[in-house]
């Protein structure tokens, strides 16, 4: 079982639920996010469960700071499990465009660049130790293109392919990689969405599903199963048919 655990986006939603659920005596948690006040609250909750907890108030887009902070933490406490979870959903319409260029770039920089900035500092260390586990947060939105959130969907497709490719690349070094693809989970992120959120689950259930998948070192931790299977099936359809399944959700990301 992992003892030294790093979680990005640990101050809210799924990351916070994972942090609290991994918090127990003997475990050491490194919690990363931008807001120090929210991170301190998360760390206090983890300590109340008996774990040691430190915070890193860092923007995952800041490559140099991520590199230095993670290398320093890992030198003191060899990381067993790294969860690259931090992410954003943006995309308000801009004239005739479905989303602004600023929103689009922020999504890619956080959801793709941020994952790379999280994983890379520890890759050579885990490979050298021949030990370690990495979890990359994608989404069911990454399994088939969604017209209501083009950049988010694309960023999660990139996270999916990156994680799956890394899994094969790192297998010879005994470093396990899993890709997490949740459907709708009730968090502050989903609260910004209007419309029907099919098969939404709570953070406790999401955390439980993720932790059991990571314990079993599953390649793909996708849930709810029916929604994930549906997304994969829809992705095989011709575009003329696919759009009927990916648009009518009526979910629109609003500017936070
Ligand atoms: N909720 C869902 O339905 C759902 C479904 C599929 C996938 N996901 C994915 O799951 C992950 C967590 O989502 P959530 O629903 O738990 O969202 P959330 O409640 O909004 O939490 C997002 C977390 O990421 C952190 N974060 C955002 N941008 C950051 C940055 N640039 N640098 C560092 N930390 C940053 C936030 O903290 P700060 O704002 O303080 O930095 C916060 O801790 C995301 O990658 C999301 O795409 C969510």
In tens, the pLDDT along 196-219 reads: 788 999 999 999 999 999 999 999
Looking at residues 158-178, what average pLDDT do you find? Answer: 98
For the Cβ of 61 lying below 6 angstroms from any atom of ligand 1, the answer is yes
Q: Which residues contact 101 (CB under 8 A, 6 or more apart)?
A: 94
Angle, helices 150-170 vs 101-108, to 10°: value is: 20
Angle 21-23-29 from CA coordinates, rounded to 5° = 115
pLDDT computed for residue 246 by the predictor: 74
Structure tokens at 109: 């920089």
| Ligand 1 geometric centre to CA of 193 (Å) | 14
Tell me the torsion sign for CA atoms 207, 213, 215, 218: negative
Lowest mean pLDDT among 75-79, 217-221, 235-239: 235-239
Using 50, 70 and 90 to split pLDDT, how confident is the model at 240? confident
Total-model pTM:
0.96
For the Cβ of 35 lying below 6 angstroms from any atom of ligand 1, the answer is yes
CATH number of the domain bearing residue 125: 3.40.50.720
For the Cβ of 137 lying below 6 angstroms from any atom of ligand 1, the answer is yes
| Ligand 1 geometric centre to CA of 84 (Å) | 10
Residue 162 catalytic? no
Please give the residue range of the domain that contains residue 60.
4-253
For residue 255, pLDDT beyond 70: no
> What CA–CA distance (Å, rounded) separates 19 from 28?
10
Cα distance between the two ends of the chain = 37
Q: 220-223 and 175-182 as β-strands: parallel, antiparallel, unpaired?
A: parallel
pLDDT computed for residue 248 by the predictor: 44
Query: For the chain, what is the domain count?
Result: 1
Q: 28-33 and 52-57 as β-strands: parallel, antiparallel, unpaired?
A: parallel
């Amino acid at each position: 079982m992992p003892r030294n655990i790093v979680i990005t986006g640990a101050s809210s939603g799924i990351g916070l639920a994972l942090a609290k659920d991994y918090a127990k005596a003997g475990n050491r948690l490194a919690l990363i996010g931008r807001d120090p006040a929210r991170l301190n609250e998360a760390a206090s909750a983890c300590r109340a469960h008996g774990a040691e907890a430190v915070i890193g108030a860092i923007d995952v887009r800041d490559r140099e700071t991520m590199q230095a902070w993670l290398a320093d933490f890992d030198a003191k406490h060899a990381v067993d499990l790294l969860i690259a979870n931090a992410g954003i959903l943006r995309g308000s319409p801009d004239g005739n465009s479905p989303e602004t260029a600023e929103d689009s770039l922020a999504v890619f920089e956080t959801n793709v660049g941020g994952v790379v900035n999280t994983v890379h500092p520890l890759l050579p260390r885990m490979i050298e130790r021949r030990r370690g586990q990495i979890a990359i947060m994608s989404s069911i939105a990454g399994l088939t293109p969604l017209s209501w959130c083009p950049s988010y969907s694309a960023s999660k497709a990139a996270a999916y392919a990156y994680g799956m490719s890394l899994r094969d690349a790192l297998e010879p070094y005994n470093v396990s990689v899993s890709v997490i693809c949740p459907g709708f989970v009730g968090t502050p992120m989903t609260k910004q969405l209007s419309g029907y959120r099919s098969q939404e689950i709570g953070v406790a259930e999401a955390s439980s599903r993720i932790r059991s998948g990571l314990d079993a070192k599953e390649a793909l931790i996708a849930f709810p199963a029916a929604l994930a299977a549906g997304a994969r099936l829809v992705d095989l359809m011709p575009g003329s048919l696919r759009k009927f399944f990916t648009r009518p959700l009526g979910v629109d990301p609003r500017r936070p």
